[in-house]
Chains A and B, each alone.
Chain A
Amino acid sequence: MEEVRPETSEYVIEMNHITKEFPGIIANDDITLQLKKGEIHALLGENGAGKSTLMSVLFGLYKPEKGEIRKNGKVVQINDPNDATALQIGMVHQHFKLIDVFTVLDNIILGAEDTKAGFLSKKAARKKVSELSEKYGLKVDLDAKIEDITVGMQQRVEILKMLYRDNEILIFDEPTAVLTPQEIDELMQIMKNLAAEGKSILFISHKLNEIMQVSDRVTVLRKGKHIGTVNTADTDKQSLSNMMVGRPVQLEVQKESANPGEVILDISHFCVPSKLHSRNAVNDVSFQVREGEIVCIAGIDGNGQTDFIYGLTGIEKSNGGTVTLCGQDITHLSIKNRGNNMSHIPEDRHKHGLVLDFTLEQNMVLQRFMEPEFQKGQFIRFAEVRSYAERLIEQFDVRSGQGPVTKVRSMSGGNQQKAIVARELDRDKKLIIAVQPTRGLDVGAIEYIHKQLVKERDKGKAVLLVSLELDEVMNLSDRILVMYEGEIVGEFNPKQTTIQELGLYMTGAKRQDRKEVEA
């Protein structure tokens, strides 16, 4: 530690009046962000609000048109990431920057290795990392390979990387997106420990729960503008989300209790092979979805949910069990024939949902162009396609530059998703499969899509939702199935369970036995 000099400023980092323009858009418009020493400062905003741009400016990736950056009150020039590192600024990215086949220790020292006579010397490094890990409660196995450890531990490795480099300013970019509830609690504790030891933390997130739980102050951005900085203690979730969106938002989905009717989807002993290993990616899964209910499959990413949906919708072949939809065995039907009773909001909208270089109206009829309404003697009826697209755009409030003839590639993510939702819901099928329907969307669009799904449920549709967001799972579903390593390990009523309870099942720490599940 350096000797304590008289502080010229109470802030360790100040970004004053930062303005960053891109052709046609002001990404950061006169934004001021001041980080106090030892505080956890949350940066809140929707997609496209300018959070990433602001952090890129701090990291020297972008040069702002206006504004200055100060460290400990002194103006500094940050021209590239090396300057940022020299100023002891470190960042944990949303997607980790780790080498899978290296050990934890090797990853931590990578780029800052000690050498003795040209040879790598890890002894001192090992001692330092062990001490840091002890001090902050960051439990890691230094000799394990990254590919063998959990995502939560990988994140601790990223944090240790910053600490090893003696960083004082730590930036966490959406750190909880990949974690289980238990791991999130641990991370929150780690962040508090770090702050208590005098580290200053910038915490980028759009999850209000976590911000309320851990942060000292919150800065809210909206459409590139600085909306305000408030003390967390003086605010609540509702007012933060209103600041973020710019209008009052319903955080909880308003819905009546479900009235399940007849069985629509009946899945029995269903298996889907894995592309990665010889075991099945989905193994012996059985459940039913009835009309008028929303059933949600919860689980940590990569536990077979994607494979299950691929098998169910016919994108991949299944290798065991049966699927019955509306009384018809669809186990071996083509995608097109399954579509007679099923609409599907896919997980990856760019890969499966849209043809990005097609226009909005062409995308609206992607499954339906062969129907007599839209073709006559194999010739497309353009007038009908146009008026159909216009109706959907109007009804589902899909916003775009040029209406039906807009290239979908030029639309925002939220409106692309709305276009898919419009197309799929308007097909009016008994079963609606929605996979991560709100991923990457902002609060306004999430609210809208949730309302639509509840509306469809109330119309008597069967809704099968797959989500990684536990808030969404708890909020929206009438029944929750937890999937772990390709199997259903528990069934819950959202009103009678907690996120923590679900977390135990999602990580495989607990499981209900089969009878209990099927009952």
Chain B
Amino acid sequence: MNIKSLLQRDSVRTVFASLIAILVGLLAGTVVVVVVGLLNPSISSNIIWDGVRLIFLGVFNTGRDAAGALTFGFNPTFFGNMLFRAMPLILTGLSVAIAYKTGLFNIGAPGQYLAGICTTLFLALSIPTSSVPAWLVWIIAFFGGMIAGALWGCIPGLLKSLLNINEVIACIMTNWLAASLVTWVFDISNLKNMLEGTKTGYIYKTSSIINDIIVDGTRTISGTNLPAGAEVVSTRGGVATDKMGLDRLFSGSQVNGGILIAILLAIIFYIIMEKTTLGYQLKACGSNRHAAKYAGIKDKRNIVLSMALAGAMAGAAGSLYALSGNTEFFWTTYQSLPAVGFTGIAVALLAVNNPIGVIFTGTFMSFLNINGQQLTKMTSYNEYITDVIIAVIVYLSAFMLMFKMWLGRKRKISVSPVREGEVKK
């Protein structure tokens, strides 16, 4: 098959269009690095060159050699961390993509993500692992988080289907509701990390062990080092996603089985959307709600269902993030909205809302993230340059249709005579 006939295929052109957007974004980042470097006298040309290489290959950076030059190779830690950070991005991207297939713009992923985090933390840290096995607590906490996200997503879905309220506005409102609600709930909860003293701004990790104890007749809590004479009532926590062997593959990284769950969910959604009657209904409602209704498809139910599924994915993102066990939730910052929810929009856009594509674009976004982190660590640049790159890519993904037409322009002309009705005006 030659390139010309390959380009005739819609899917191939879509992938190429995404790649062009990515490439132009990276080049724009390069220009910023070079321009900033040239304008700043303290940045030498060597560092500019380092910066450019880190933008493209930061994940492969293995440090500097004795002469101070950057060395590149397979870095299992960075690779693992890239996959770890990709996990919530894939899921929020999936969330936006699913809703989009039904013609809805789910800008509510941050709120659904928070609902997921909050519910998961509560479940994982409240159910005593002394009486319920930790793996079961994990399952309850994970599904609890997904359901919470789904319910939070249902709110704009219901408002849209019953009262025809624009889902974008409802989503933005539920986002801020979630942010305030979660902050308040944690504030009055007993999940603030008291054991490690100063860190009261944090919630316990799900992996921390909390012993509810009675010392001298008073009930209190303790870590693993029990005070003398303490009677343990119950033990909570110690719940974390299984590493599933990934820690051996990517030693020194935070990666766990969550990434595999995210990929699995993406594949499941691909199958639902492309192969099942449910996907057909959702897409029919998304493309033409009136025609779907006329054909006897329950349009209102499908709108709510679509938002619930989208919310479940954003909820799963928050849930798996919390359940990774080694991340701490600094609750007071959540009076603002988590960026990962919004980055999901870019992930979905770049993947043209294809669930399988989301796996790759989500990973790519976290690839940029690690590159930015290395840029900060190894040079005097700061990581905000990666934000510039992401911004350019998001901007360009809006032009992707244009790229696509440009790639297939020869074909367009030879097909168009069929469309005689189009000639008018």
Residue A206 CB within 8 A of the other chain: no
Cα of A48 to Cα of B422 in the assembled complex, Å:
8
Indicate if the CB atoms of A48 and B425 lie closer than 8 Å: no
* Residues from 266 to 280 in B contacting A, C-beta threshold 8 Å: 275-278, 280
Indicate if the CB atoms of B284 and A23 lie closer than 8 Å: no
Residue B418 CB within 8 A of the other chain: yes
Indicate if the CB atoms of A375 and B277 lie closer than 8 Å: yes
Residue A176 CB within 8 A of the other chain: no
Taken residue by residue from 35 to 59, chain A's Cβ proximity to chain B (1 for < 8 Å, 0 otherwise) reads as: 0000000000001101011001000
Taken residue by residue from 288 to 311, chain B's Cβ proximity to chain A (1 for < 8 Å, 0 otherwise) reads as: 101111111100000000000000
Cα of A56 to Cα of B425 in the assembled complex, Å:
8
Across the two chains, which residue of chain A brings its CB closest to B415?
A: A401
Taken residue by residue from 145 to 167, chain B's Cβ proximity to chain A (1 for < 8 Å, 0 otherwise) reads as: 00000000000000000000000
* Residues from 145 to 202 in B contacting A, C-beta threshold 8 Å: none
Partner of B287, one of A335, A352, A355, A411: A355
Residue A77 CB within 8 A of the other chain: no
A52 to chain B: which residues have CB within 8 Å? 423-425
Partner of B418, one of A22, A50, A412: A412
Across the two chains, which residue of chain B brings its CB closest to A47?
A: B421
Residue A99 CB within 8 A of the other chain: no
Indicate if the CB atoms of A410 and B287 lie closer than 8 Å: no
Identify which of A186-194, A264-272, A297-305, A365-373 touches chain B: A365-373
Taken residue by residue from 435 to 449, chain A's Cβ proximity to chain B (1 for < 8 Å, 0 otherwise) reads as: 000000000000000
B278 to chain A: which residues have CB within 8 Å? 378
Partner of A412, one of B277, B290, B421: B421
Cα of A358 to Cα of B420 in the assembled complex, Å:
20
Cα of A380 to Cα of B420 in the assembled complex, Å:
33
Across the two chains, which residue of chain A brings its CB closest to B284?
A: A355
A344 to chain B: which residues have CB within 8 Å? 294
Question: What number of B residues sit within 8 Å (CB to CB) of A?
Answer: 31
Across the two chains, which residue of chain B brings its CB closest to A49?
A: B420
B419 to chain A: which residues have CB within 8 Å? 25, 410-412
B281 to chain A: which residues have CB within 8 Å? 369
Residue B417 CB within 8 A of the other chain: yes
Residue B416 CB within 8 A of the other chain: yes
A356 to chain B: which residues have CB within 8 Å? 287-288
Given the interface pairs A351-B290, A380-B275, the reply to whether A366 lies near B416 with Cβ below 8 Å is: no
Residue A357 CB within 8 A of the other chain: yes
Distance in angstroms from A218 CB to nearest chain B CB is 21
Q: Residue among B284, B293, B294, B424 with the most chain A CB within 10 A?
A: B294
Residue B228 CB within 8 A of the other chain: no
Indicate if the CB atoms of B424 and A369 lie closer than 8 Å: no
Cα of A27 to Cα of B290 in the assembled complex, Å:
33
Cα of A309 to Cα of B236 in the assembled complex, Å:
63
Residue A315 CB within 8 A of the other chain: yes
B280 to chain A: which residues have CB within 8 Å? 362, 369, 380
Indicate if the CB atoms of B425 and A334 lie closer than 8 Å: no
Indicate if the CB atoms of A378 and B276 lie closer than 8 Å: yes
Cα of A409 to Cα of B362 in the assembled complex, Å:
32
Indicate if the CB atoms of A27 and B423 lie closer than 8 Å: yes
Distance in angstroms from A437 CB to nearest chain B CB is 15
Indicate if the CB atoms of B295 and A366 lie closer than 8 Å: yes
Indicate if the CB atoms of A25 and B420 lie closer than 8 Å: yes
Residue A353 CB within 8 A of the other chain: yes
Residue A339 CB within 8 A of the other chain: yes
Indicate if the CB atoms of A358 and B287 lie closer than 8 Å: yes
Indicate if the CB atoms of A351 and B288 lie closer than 8 Å: yes
B339 to chain A: which residues have CB within 8 Å? none
Indicate if the CB atoms of A367 and B295 lie closer than 8 Å: yes
Indicate if the CB atoms of B425 and A353 lie closer than 8 Å: no
Indicate if the CB atoms of A366 and B291 lie closer than 8 Å: yes
Indicate if the CB atoms of A355 and B288 lie closer than 8 Å: yes
Across the two chains, which residue of chain B brings its CB closest to A365?
A: B280
Cα of A315 to Cα of B281 in the assembled complex, Å:
17
Distance in angstroms from B406 CB to nearest chain A CB is 14
Taken residue by residue from 14 to 51, chain B's Cβ proximity to chain A (1 for < 8 Å, 0 otherwise) reads as: 00000000000000000000000000000000000000
Cα of A356 to Cα of B292 in the assembled complex, Å:
11
Residue A292 CB within 8 A of the other chain: no
* Residues from 200 to 245 in A contacting B, C-beta threshold 8 Å: 223
Residue B414 CB within 8 A of the other chain: yes
Partner of B421, one of A48, A353, A370, A401: A48
Residue A119 CB within 8 A of the other chain: no
Residue B3 CB within 8 A of the other chain: no
Residue B413 CB within 8 A of the other chain: yes
Distance in angstroms from A374 CB to nearest chain B CB is 8
Indicate if the CB atoms of A351 and B277 lie closer than 8 Å: no
Indicate if the CB atoms of A401 and B284 lie closer than 8 Å: no
B292 to chain A: which residues have CB within 8 Å? 355, 366
Distance in angstroms from B17 CB to nearest chain A CB is 18
A400 to chain B: which residues have CB within 8 Å? 418
Indicate if the CB atoms of B420 and A335 lie closer than 8 Å: no
Indicate if the CB atoms of A335 and B294 lie closer than 8 Å: yes
Indicate if the CB atoms of B288 and A354 lie closer than 8 Å: yes
* Residues from 259 to 309 in A contacting B, C-beta threshold 8 Å: none
Indicate if the CB atoms of B414 and A24 lie closer than 8 Å: yes
Indicate if the CB atoms of A22 and B284 lie closer than 8 Å: no
Residue A510 CB within 8 A of the other chain: no
B416 to chain A: which residues have CB within 8 Å? 23-25
A459 to chain B: which residues have CB within 8 Å? none
Across the two chains, which residue of chain A brings its CB closest to B296?
A: A336
Indicate if the CB atoms of B421 and A413 lie closer than 8 Å: yes
Cα of A343 to Cα of B419 in the assembled complex, Å:
28
B418 to chain A: which residues have CB within 8 Å? 400-401, 410-412
Partner of B291, one of A22, A47, A355, A375: A355
Distance in angstroms from B411 CB to nearest chain A CB is 11
Cα of A334 to Cα of B288 in the assembled complex, Å:
19
Taken residue by residue from 473 to 509, chain A's Cβ proximity to chain B (1 for < 8 Å, 0 otherwise) reads as: 0000000000000000000000000000000000000
* Residues from 368 to 415 in B contacting A, C-beta threshold 8 Å: 412-415
B413 to chain A: which residues have CB within 8 Å? 23-24
User: Can you list 11 A-B contacts with CB-CB less than 8 angstroms, sorted by A residue number?
Assistant: A24-B412, A25-B420, A48-B424, A56-B425, A223-B420, A351-B288, A355-B287, A370-B277, A378-B276, A401-B415, A412-B420
Q: Which 6 A-B pairs have the closest CB atoms?
A: A336-B296, A24-B416, A48-B420, A352-B294, A366-B295, A355-B288
